[in-house]
Structure 1
Amino acid sequence: MAAQTGGKYQFLGRSGLSVSNICLGTMTFGKAPGGHPAFSSPTQLDETKAHEILDRYAALGGNFIDTANMYCFGQSEEIIGSWLTKQKRSNFVIATKCRAKMGDAPNDVGLGRRHIIQMCEDSLRRLQTDYIDLYQTHCWDYAVPLEETLRAFDDLVKAGKVRYIGVSNVNGWQMQKIVDTAKSLGISNVISLQQQYNLLCRHSEWEEFQVCRNEGLGVMVWSPLKGGMLTGKFQRGEKPEDSGSRIGHVHKNEKTAISSCPAWSWYAEDEGYWNLVEIMKKAAANHGKSVPQVALKWLLQKNVVSSVIIGVTSIKQLEDNMAAGEDWCLTQDEMTSLDQATALPSTYPYNQLERMNTGRSNPYLSLPFVENVFK
């Protein structure tokens, strides 16, 4: 598992930053005007309910809060900011992101210097703080030179407005290029990758996580429950319209389906999915835990993962999810069953790399390819 500092806290990659192994995601804070599909679910929280979630998260020992400027177009950051003013700032690690379109002008989007600097200033104002612990790119930008992006982030670190740099939603070659470019420029390097990863989305194991493992980057996992598909609450043949869930909300209008909140139809007739649900239920029963806790624990037992980001809409959900970070483990047989039920197809060149390197490793080099990420 990832390097630990003790109890529920782990280092974020090889940095000296200690974070909760369960991070509170805040995309559910606020409600976007105009009914934006990503933030119009009936499960979105107003400030009062969001502050209740934040209070309980802190009481349970959580110190890591993740947001983004685009979440409800700044409302999420504002809600966190109004709560943060009533806390001891140094007790919490605040992470946010930039890149998304935040206005109608040509320079109101992307990872150019002008946009990055302005978005950082705007986030600091909304968060009511004078520094951001972890500032992250929200996605790769094909329109801006990487050197410009990284130098702008480095300048924010030098100015004391940002403590650490991270990235999100990139592919393998992009991740390696980010690391190598920062090294060649002699500037602040990234310490983390925030990536979708769950039992139904494992493709980052092939490339991106290999870079993270070899370079010492911590992985922050988003959508660990695949928008609710890994909660075990749904039954075969029963449509989720009236479940009060995001999946149910999307089911009524599948045009709004996205990777983190999939359409019910994507899995309704998938035998592999229902087999996975049964394996998860069995493991949950073995440990006296819930199905979501099994899905989260599977992630926490992957050695590349530093923290798992949860998105909750109630205190009950929060407490259940946080319990996944406590001191209990899935057995090796259970991990193997879950791994095998959701295994990626063995395809070239990965199958040949694995076959020709079986049993071949050097303890003085970075840990070998498959076994140290997938187990």
Structure 2
Amino acid sequence: MEYTRLGSTGLEVSRLCLGCMNFGSGEPWMMNDREASIALVERALDAGINFFDTANIYSHGESEAILGEALSSYDREECVIATKVYGPMFDGPNGQGLSRKHIIDQAHASLDRLDTDYIDLYQIHRWDDETPIEETLAALTHLVETGVVRYVGASTMAAWQFAKALFTADREGGERFVSMQAEYNLVDRHEEANVLPLCRDQDVGVVPWSPLAGGFLTGKYERGGSREHGRAADDEFMDKRFTEENWAVLDAVRDVAEREGATPTQVSLAWLLGSDVVDAPIVGPRTEEHLADALGAFDVDLSAADRDRLQAPITPVWNPDIGDT
């Protein structure tokens, strides 16, 4: 396993992050098997992965609880646990958002579910139009100062929002966001026209989610073929991917994979790992075979010509109607 520092911090994380959104029983596409989920975490640890990402909203806390159980017999100091806050956790007032109350209450609830004394990376899952960023940053700073959280990160927002958050933290002397989770892969490159240049300029770590475009870049779909694989392929999240320019990207991925004796998954992840702005893509395998496939990306060495060919079909444009995870 390769390791890197997260953004400008001294925190060492594996170059692949294990995403735990599949853990739980909230949707048919989830693993729906607690023991298999725990075994997957153990396999990741055996492979050298030390970076794990979840969220309080994933299966309404079930994902966090499974991850906590899976890590309970391992050295906590070697594990980097990331979780998120924002989404609705209960009906009624203060059930969601980035208010001081919700953030602090949910941080302690996440500690309980994760069975840990602290969270390594606590991330705001979305921007909250209803709460001043000053209040959000004050709550996150309090959590760091009291030892509940080590670092704070953000996810999925417009560049102007993230710039405002960074500026406010600098102005107020508050805790600064050290990382950004952004949807980023070979067919979803809109963040190149949005938040990625800001992250590069501010030395903020980038942790891409959906690095395989919901499975599209694994090569399991065919033009005109069935779309019934894994996550519901007829929903908006997947439907936006079945375009001619995306098929052209996948054709290039398959060609490079065949030449390299690799899989489309490995080529797609190798492209991300070779980006100077990317720290650790979040992979969300449902089986140990999927995880082994992802780990093979480290054996793929893409040339500059390969990267140009893979990128050629798409010109990145920022689209605020982005996906959700």
Report the TM-score when normalising by structure 2. Answer: 0.95
1:342 aligns with 2:309: no
- Name the structure 1 match of 2:303: 331
Larger Rg: 1
The CA deviation at 1:271 is 2.5
Contact map agreement 2:192 2:316 (CA 8 A) in 1 = no
Q: Verify: 1:188 aligned to 2:160, yes or no.
A: no
The runs of 5 or more residues in structure 1 that have no matched partner are: 1-6, 33-39, 347-375
2:36 maps to a residue whose letter is K
Separation in 1, partners of 2:311, 2:292: 26
1:300–1:106 distance in 2 versus 1, CA, 3 Å? same
CA distance in 2, matches of 1:155, 1:117: 9
Partner of 2:200: 213
Which of these residues, 64, 88, 95, is aligned with residue 108 of structure 1?
A: 95
Counterpart amino acid of residue 296 in structure 1? L
1:11 matched to 2:5: yes
| Correspondence 1:1-375 to 2 at 5 A | 8-32=2-26, 40-241=27-228, 243=229, 245-246=230-231, 250-251=232-233, 254=234, 257-259=235-237, 262-263=238-239, 266-268=240-242, 270-324=243-297, 326-344=298-316
Q: Structure 1-normalised TM-score?
A: 0.82
Aligned to 1:352: none
Which residue number in structure 2 is paired with residue 3 of structure 1?
A: none
Alignment-mate amino acid for residue 23 of structure 1: C
Equivalent-residue separation in structure 2 for 1:345 and 1:94 (angstroms): 32
For 2:316 and 2:281, the matched residues in 1 are separated by: 21
Give the aligned CA root-mean-square deviation in angstroms: 1.4
CA distance in 2 between counterparts of 1:223 and 1:135 reads 19
Q: Is the 8 A contact 2:212 2:269 kept in 1?
A: yes
Shift of 1:343: 2.3
Distance 2:59 2:255 in 1: 38
Letter in 2 for 1:285: E
> What letter corresponds to residue 279 of structure 1 in structure 2?
A
Determine if contact 1:45/1:313 at 8 Å carries over to the other structure.
Answer: no
Moved more, 147-156 or 288-297: 288-297
Q: What's the secondary structure of 1:221's corresponding residue?
A: coil
Say if 2:266 and 2:300, in contact at 8 Å, map to a contact too: no
Greater CA deviation, 111-120 or 283-292?
Answer: 283-292
Are the counterparts in 1 of residues 5 and 12 from structure 2 also a CA contact under 8 Å?
yes
Deviation at 1:41, TM superposition (A): 2.1
Partner of 1:367: none
Q: Is the 8 A contact 2:166 2:176 kept in 1?
A: yes
Runs of 5+ consecutive residues of structure 2 not aligned to the other structure: 319-325
Tell me the CA shift for residue 207 of structure 1. Answer: 2.8
Q: Assess, with a 3 A threshold, how the Cα gap between structure 1 residues 267 and 161 changes in structure 2: closer, same or farther.
A: closer
TM superposition shift of 1:199: 1.3
Offset of residue 344 of structure 1: 2.3
Task: Check the 8 A contact 1:312/1:318 in 2, yes or no.
Answer: yes
Which SS does the other structure have where 2:218 is aligned?
coil
Aligned counterparts of 2:111 and 2:29: Cα–Cα separation in 1: 28
Give the aligned residue type for 1:288.
G
Change over 3 Å in CA distance of 1:271–1:42 after alignment to 2: closer
User: Whole-Å Cα distance in 2 between the matches of residues 314 and 110 of structure 1?
Assistant: 33
Q: Distance in 2 between matches of 1:59 and 1:84?
A: 12
How many angstroms does 1:345 deviate by? 5.7
Identity percentage over the alignment? Answer: 40
Q: Please list every run of at least 4 consecutive aligned residues from structure 1 whose deviation after the TM superposition is greater than 3 angstroms.
A: none
1:82 to partner: Cα distance:
1.1
Aligned partners of 1:274, 1:81: CA distance in 2, in Å? Answer: 39
Residue 235 of structure 1: CA displacement?
1.8
CA distance, structure 1, for counterparts of residue 271 and residue 241 of structure 2: 20
Q: Could you say what secondary structure the match of 2:208 adopts?
A: strand
